[in-house]
Chains A and B, each alone.
Chain A
Amino acid sequence: MGKKLTKIDILTSPSKLEELKEALNAIGISGMTVSNVLGCGVQKGHKESYRGLSLDIHLLPKIKIEIIVCEVPVELVVETTKKVLHTGNIGDGKIFIYDVENVIRISTGDEGRDALQYTE
């Protein structure tokens, strides 16, 4: 039986990507998926104008980092992330944690914990 698989989504400002990547690499996470997204939290947006017409800007550019962990403790990932991203202000970001049913490495057919191991 494999150990528990967990997915962790980190949503934060694009300027924090390099720092966060390095910190995650340092605790043993090398695989991740990063996308450009738009997002907003609970704060209201603000108004801009284009050729004299006003528009509301609610959604701001963010990045979403998706990682799956098994051996690396979820708590360690969360603590590391908080250490890098925390400023105490609005815009630090969010972490979402999910259960994962299975992980498969296509090239070798490994599943579960083995699909996440990057040895040799």
Chain B
Amino acid sequence: MKKIKRFSLFISLTFLFVVILSAVVFAQGVGDPSGAATGAASDIIAKTAGSPTQDEILTQIGKNRLGINYVWVMMTGMLIFFFQCGFAMVETGFCRAKNALHTMAMNFMVFLVGAVGYFLVGFALQFGGVGGWSNLGAGAATLSHEVTVGGWGLFGTKGFALASGGTYDVAVYALFFFQMVFMDTTCTIPTGSMAERVKFSVFVINSFFVSMIYYPLFGNWVWGGGWMAQLGTRLGIGHGVVDFAGSAVVHSMGGMMALAGAIVIGPRIGKFKKDGTAVPFLGHDIPMAIIGTIILFFCWFAFNAGSTTNGADFRLAIVATNTMIAGAVGGLVSMMYMWKKYGKPDPSMTCNGALAGLVAITAPCAFVNGISSFIIGAISGILVCISVRIVEDKFKIDDPVGAISVHCVNGVWGIIALGLFADGAYGDGLNGVAGGVTGLFYGGGFGQLLAQLICVAVLIIWGFGTSYLFFKLLDKTMGLRVSKEAEIAGLDIPEMGMVAYPDFVLNPKDGE
């Protein structure tokens, strides 16, 4: 019986094989494996396929231009969203294990809250009066009302809930999608400097504040057609404040808030001895922090190059490359600095160094060349290492992840660096001013540098000032810090109700 079964199985399989083989070999193929025959006049959308009218051809060209831009803007926007993962991993890696879940949860929550706040209010304030966004087509022209004082723009009013004022439009939604993820970065930066002792609820409220008021107003002034951008056309100060992808708007704003928050909340218990010397609190998972840094580095290409919002603006290649150079050099210089000064190439500072270089190049990335990017990155690498020690040793400010040194100090450096290194090769017409953006070292005089310094002043007054007042107010009303007992036990149970790694430690529930 077994022999017959095996024999029939063999016959059936052979038959099947022959059938499939014949189907493949003798099939009438009409495929185009090289692609040479694909793409022809018949692919132009037309009433009569293959014979488009001139109007139809012109329409197709217009659609193609916008098509490239929409793909570019939407894809880079999605990659910038992934920044959230990078920040969550960097911050959690730098914290102690007992606070891991709390830190992770904060970094996820800020996106959830920020999306809502920015959708309901923030986007309209920031871009409601920007007047249009030609790279996305004519639809964004509906963002047409800016509140001004004496002609100086302060905030917009079109687009609340992405519905008011005729803003239910593809261009507006694309612009919102892209700009939201930039705002989200500012929301997440201060969680780093306040980690391990801040209440979760504080950052829920803070994220509403950032997404609805703090970020959009400053963002309007620089990117939304507001007064800082108008300094060029109205007062002849360079091209007005220029910040290509957000060293100021995103990183310095986040960094200033991180600084104000760390000052108001105070250091972690035990961080400073009685005589003021700082005590090292080891990050519990520096490998996680390194992965987070790599993720941020990767997404930074989208953050900077995506800011052309134009897939056919080939300067994007130089933007991305400048980003790569500055980040790499920043990390390398930090690594060498720590190696030389303290004996070993501290991996946590290497991460901070790369991020510092990336933050600093974010403003000038479109306006400088590779060598300038190298120099900017190198200076960042040293700045961040020196800053970390000064913030702690001189000012007694406790910053668990280096947020202040990376985002505030190097954000400001990036804004100033633009005023020095911009070489005039790009930016003709930016903010309504003719000619490329040119800094001091390339014959642009002090004009651009002055605009950039004005930006720094506003960052201090608006960024640090309002953050400080906001945190002071929250501290007085709800208190910023968890209780002493909660802080010493670790925030995971008191604030989150569960431990980050229950299987790796005695689970408190069972161990009781």
Interface residues of A (CB under 8 A from B): 48-55
Contacts and interface: CB of A to CB of B under 8 A. Distances in A.
Interface stretch (B339-347, B359-367, B473-481): B339-347
Contacts, number: 30
Contacts of A50: 280, 282, 346, 348
A53 B344 contact: no
Contact of A49 (B279, B346, B388, B392): B346
A48 B343 CA distance: 9
B79 interface: no
Interface of B: 278-280, 282, 338, 341-344, 346, 348-349, 385, 388-389, 392, 402
Contact of B348 (A48, A51, A54, A55): A51
B278 A53 contact: yes
A53 B341 CA distance: 11
A54 B392 CA distance: 14
Contacts of B402: 51
A51 B344 contact: no
13 contacts: A49-B343, A49-B344, A49-B346, A50-B280, A50-B348, A51-B346, A51-B402, A52-B349, A52-B385, A52-B388, A52-B389, A53-B280, A55-B280
B386 to A, nearest CB: 9
Contacts of A49: 342-344, 346
Say whether chain A's binding surface is mostly helix, strand, loop, or mixed: strand
B335 to A, nearest CB: 13
A51 B352 CA distance: 10
A51 B388 contact: yes
Contacts of A53: 278-280, 392
The 5 A-B residue pairs with the shortest CB-CB distance in the complex, in nearest-first order:
A53-B280, A50-B280, A49-B342, A52-B389, A55-B280
A49 B343 CA distance: 8
Contacts of B280: 50-51, 53-55
A32 to B, nearest CB: 21
Nearest to B337: A52
Contacts of A51: 280, 346, 348-349, 388, 402
Nearest to B341: A52
A15 to B, nearest CB: 22
Contacts of A48: 344
A81 B327 CA distance: 53
Contacts of A54: 280
A56 to B, nearest CB: 10
Nearest to B352: A51
Contacts of B338: 52
A38 to B, nearest CB: 14
Nearest to B388: A51
Contacts of A55: 280, 282
Nearest to A53: B280
Contacts of B389: 52
B333 to A, nearest CB: 15
B10 to A, nearest CB: 50
Nearest to B348: A51
Contacts of B282: 50, 55
Nearest to B349: A51
B129 to A, nearest CB: 44
Given A50-B346, A51-B280, A52-B388, 6 more contacts: A48-B344, A49-B346, A50-B280, A50-B348, A51-B349, A52-B338
Contacts of B279: 53
B338 to A, nearest CB: 7
A89 B369 CA distance: 58
A5 to B, nearest CB: 28
A70 to B, nearest CB: 30
A49 B346 CA distance: 8
Nearest to B389: A52
A112 to B, nearest CB: 30
B57 to A, nearest CB: 61
Nearest to B392: A53
A49 B385 CA distance: 13
A46 to B, nearest CB: 11
Nearest to B94: A51
A93 to B, nearest CB: 25
Contacts of A52: 338, 341-342, 346, 349, 385, 388-389
A48 B338 CA distance: 12
A55 B346 CA distance: 13
Contacts of B344: 48-49
A48 B345 CA distance: 12
B385 to A, nearest CB: 7
Contacts of B385: 52
A48 B402 CA distance: 20
B242 to A, nearest CB: 33
Contacts of B343: 49
Nearest to B402: A51
A53 B278 CA distance: 7
A51 B400 CA distance: 11
Nearest to A49: B342
A51 B385 CA distance: 8
B64 to A, nearest CB: 51
A48 B280 CA distance: 11
B271 to A, nearest CB: 10
A27 to B, nearest CB: 33
